[in-house]
A and B are shown apart, each in its own frame.
Chain A
Amino acid sequence: MSDLDLLPIGTLTLDDNFIVISASLQFRKIFNCDDSAVVGRQFQDLFGPRERRSLSRLDQAMSSYSDGLLDMRLVVMVFGNTNFHCRLKLLKIEKKWIAFISDVLKDDDFLHQLTVSEEIWTSIMNESVDAIAVLGADRLIKRFNNAFSEIMKFKSVHDVLLNEDAILGKDLTQFSCNKGFLKLFDFLSDGKLSPINSYKEIVEIDMAIFNVEAYPLQVPVKGFSGTCIIIRDLTAQHQNEKLRLKNAHYTGMTEVATGIIHNIGNLINGVNIGLETLKQCLRLSKLSGLQKATDMLRANQNRMSEFLATDPKGKALIEYIIQITGTLKSESVTAEQEVGSMLTKLNVIKEVIHGQQDYAHGKGLVEKVDVRKVVEESIQIQMASLQRHEIEIKTNFTDIDPVSLQRNKLVHILINLLTNAKDALKSPQQKEKIVMVTIGKTKDNFPFVKITDNGPGIPTENLDKIFAHGFTTKPDGHGFGLHFCANAMTEMGGQLIVENQSDSSGATFTLIWKNL
């Protein structure tokens, strides 16, 4: 008893010339024979004279065999008068072959299995929402399902109610009158279809959208070659997507509106309170007291020296005028402060509104953009300002393919980031001021632009909120810039990432496009 006897499937051991050396226990059981029936026989002879197709495939497979398991899904072996349909696997070990024979079915069983399998496939085909058809040579329809029949309008173009038989064997391109698929028919007629050149297109017909695919079918068992067509109705999916996009757009608008209300609301609050303070200051102003004091002086004009020298009111009046000067002065300082702070707030409001206007203009065309060119332009725009602050721009540009994006938005983002980098280097303690701009590709081939400054970096506690709406560390900032940039990058299929240099010398903002 050899190890092979322990296997649940039948095995034969063959020598170099495919002569059977031994048959396993299981093999003898399945085929109901003893060793003498097979040992010493040519392996190919077991297939019987009528199974030429199996034989030629076997010969071909064996002659081109290099290593590993050779798997033939359906071969027919003949014992006595019975055909056995089986799965054959061959393995070469040193100078011997092991043949594994499994899934053995006698003729009758085989037919039954085939029928069941056919039924399963037919029911799957017909249940399918996708339209599926198999064409043989010359585009003749071999199989098709209900959805396919509907989409091709087989029934509507012919007055008679067609049954399946009337359609099978017809040339699809002649028989369907749905003009929407003419392109597919042309493609099929031209015989361009090949394993490396399959057909795939989105077709719009009468407001409906279809994904149409055709590819060659290769069924090795029967040597059948044909074409499989699958058509999927994408209309509902497209509508959903449109709706989702619209919703996303509304959400975005709401967010912008809420942002404005928040930013401007807070600022107007300050202006409002400032105005009230100013009003209070004017209402309670001691100016009216000064008025009364001068009235009193005028009334005593003729006895001025006497009034001032002897009248108790005169003495008090001098003291009052001395006092009031200081108070009036401080009133005016308060008023000036309030007006100044209101002006500042109004300026920020103006900037927020400008930011919104930029946003409104930013809704532009998506196009293939030469990133390097846009980066160079953006640097040029900022150059004067950078030079004024004695900032040196260093560049390291690698050639990358054009990226699909909105030009305006990219310019906006780059200028925002360059301005931030400039602000990071403003401190007088900063000796060497360098902004490094890099263009390149990651290991995974994702294009990126990096803007690095050698400033103090971003405090760790701010790193995760730097893109939050309304977050700013600038005294005159409105916290809208980076928030906009991050959103705009996401819209363009990219991402904006911030990190500090590992040696804590400055921050790096990275624009990266991962969804091209």
Chain B
Amino acid sequence: MNNNSEFNRRILIVDDTPTIHDDIKKILNTKVDPAVLRLDNMEQTLFGDTQKCHPILPIDYQIDSAFQGQDGLTMALAAVKQQKPYALIFMDIRMPPGWDGITTIEKIWAEIPTTEIVICTAYSDIPLNEVEVRVGISGRLLILKKPFDAIEIREIASTMTTKWNQAAKQ
């Protein structure tokens, strides 16, 4: 069903807090300023430095935002229609007044079961049991508690999108 010729790095963030969108986008935007790269090269010739500097392999993610569960489903469905499905969705749990995250996951997986999802919540009382009861243990779900670290987001994004692409090849 997917267009397998390209490596899918499309991510959707579903969260009612705008700053979380900014945070994730900031973390995943690891592109290095070309000016800095030029300086790195110059340092190589000038000082003979071989050290550092950018351990992060820049990955070019395409990141979209939805602020309510309903919008999240709509966007995910539209993306599939355009043959540009999301590999990974970061999903908040509580998004008043609309659907909560678990409901949204149920609805998305009912239509697009291949989507990898990371539940991302700031609540301590997140009903984890409820998650298992309602969506089962699927092998496509991770849980991440806010506040999160940048490295968690980077590794999760890289691993989960890679996983999606491997699954799509088979």
Interface residues of A (CB under 8 A from B): 254, 258, 261-262, 265-273, 276-277, 284, 286, 289, 292-293, 296, 313, 316-317, 319-320, 323-324, 326-327, 330, 345, 464-465, 468-471
Contacts and interface: CB of A to CB of B under 8 A. Distances in A.
Contact of A258 (B35, B54, B125): B125
Interface in B122-164: 122-125, 146-150
Contact of B147 (A268, A292, A293, A320): A268
Interface stretch (B4-12, B39-47, B83-91, B111-119): B39-47
Contacts of A471: 96-97
B52 A289 contact: no
* Closest 9 pairs between A and B when the two form their complex, measured CB to CB: A265-B122, A269-B147, A468-B96, A465-B97, A273-B23, A270-B19, A276-B150, A266-B17, A269-B146
A324 B96 contact: no
Nearest to B97: A465
B39 A266 contact: no
Interface string B32-74: 0101101100110111010011100000000000000000000
Nearest to A467: B97
Given A316-B46, A324-B39, A471-B96, A261 B124 contact: yes
Contacts of B23: 269-270, 273
B20 interface: yes
Given A269-B20, A269-B23, A286-B39, A468 B97 contact: yes
A284 B52 contact: yes
B27 interface: yes
Contact of A273 (B16, B26, B54): B26
Contacts of A316: 42, 45-46
Given A266-B19, A273-B26, A261 B123 contact: yes
A320 B39 contact: yes
Contact of A269 (B19, B39, B46, B52): B19
Contact of B19 (A267, A277, A296, A465): A267
Contacts of B39: 286, 289, 320, 323-324, 327
Contacts of A270: 19-20, 22-23
B46 A296 contact: yes
A119 B27 CA distance: 84
Contacts of B54: 284
A265 B53 CA distance: 32
Given A326-B35, A327-B36, A269 B97 contact: no
Contacts, number: 97
Contact of A317 (B36, B46, B122): B46
Contact of B122 (A262, A284, A464): A262
A265 B92 CA distance: 12
Nearest to B47: A292
Contacts of A254: 125
Contacts of B38: 323
A323 B43 CA distance: 11
A146 B20 CA distance: 68
Contact of A284 (B35, B45, B47, B53): B53
B147 A272 contact: yes
A193 B92 CA distance: 66
Contacts of A326: 35
A269 B124 CA distance: 14
Interface residues of B, number: 34
Contacts of B149: 272, 276
B86 to A, nearest CB: 22
B27 A273 contact: yes
Contacts of A293: 46
Nearest to B54: A284
Nearest to A319: B42
A471 B96 CA distance: 8
Nearest to B27: A273
A12 B53 CA distance: 117
A464 B20 contact: no
A268 B27 CA distance: 15
A244 B52 CA distance: 63
Nearest to B94: A262
Contacts of B33: 327, 330
A266 B47 contact: no
Given A270-B19, A327-B35, A464-B97, A320 B146 contact: no
A276 B28 CA distance: 13
Contact of B42 (A271, A277, A320): A320
Contacts of B45: 313, 316
B148 A269 contact: yes
A389 to B, nearest CB: 26
A468 B68 CA distance: 13
Contacts of B49: 292
Contacts of A323: 35, 38-39, 42
A144 to B, nearest CB: 54
Contact of A465 (B53, B96, B146): B96
Contacts of A286: 36, 39
Contacts of A465: 96-97
A471 B43 CA distance: 50
Contacts of A313: 45-46
Contact of A266 (B20, B43, B52, B97): B20
A323 B40 CA distance: 11
Given A269-B20, A293-B46, A313-B46, A470 B96 contact: yes
A109 B43 CA distance: 122
Contacts of A272: 147-149
Nearest to A326: B35
B165 to A, nearest CB: 26
Given A269-B19, A292-B49, A326-B35, 8 more contacts: A266-B122, A267-B19, A270-B19, A273-B26, A284-B54, A313-B45, A323-B42, A330-B35
B17 to A, nearest CB: 5
Nearest to A277: B26
Contacts of A464: 97
A344 to B, nearest CB: 10
